[in-house]
Amino acid sequence: MQATAELQVIPVGQGVTVRNEIMQVIDVLSQYSLKTETHASGTNLEGELKIILEAVAKVHEVLHDSGSVRLLSYLKLETRIDKQPTLAGKQL
């Protein structure tokens, strides 16, 4: 099932800057067959629902393994059965 999503990952308690953690998120997402669009508050994703969920789980695994004690993620997810959702279809 095709889906679009917006993912925002917040490493809690990591200090003022989380640049290194966000770069890790971008690196993990690039390893999946997803279309990604990173913006100031998160990353838009397009691809198979199963792959999106696997990628989010991997993001948590990688960040925890690299020392992030607490992560807070917001995932907005859209699936449709009347047509295929795309990121391009979301643009005005």
- What confidence tier does 84 reach under pLDDT thresholds 50, 70, 90? confident
Q: Kindly state the tokens that stand for 92.
A: 């005005």
Dig out the tokens for 57 from the structure: 């789980």
For residue 63, give the H/E element and its range: helix 49-65
pLDDT band at 89 (very low <50, low <70, confident <90, very high): confident
At residue 69 the predicted structure's pLDDT band, cuts being 50, 70 and 90, is very high
Mean pLDDT, all residues of the chain = 93
Burial of 14 (0-12, 13-18, 19+ CB in 10 A): middle
* Distance separating alpha carbons of residues 37 and 26, to the nearest angstrom: 10
pLDDT at residue 59 tops 70: yes
pLDDT digits (tens, 9 = 90+) for 13-55: 877 788 999 999 999 999 999 999 999 999 999 999 999 999 9
The CA distance from 48 to 62, in Å, is 21
Q: Which domains does the chain have, with CATH numbers?
A: 2-87 (3.30.70.930)
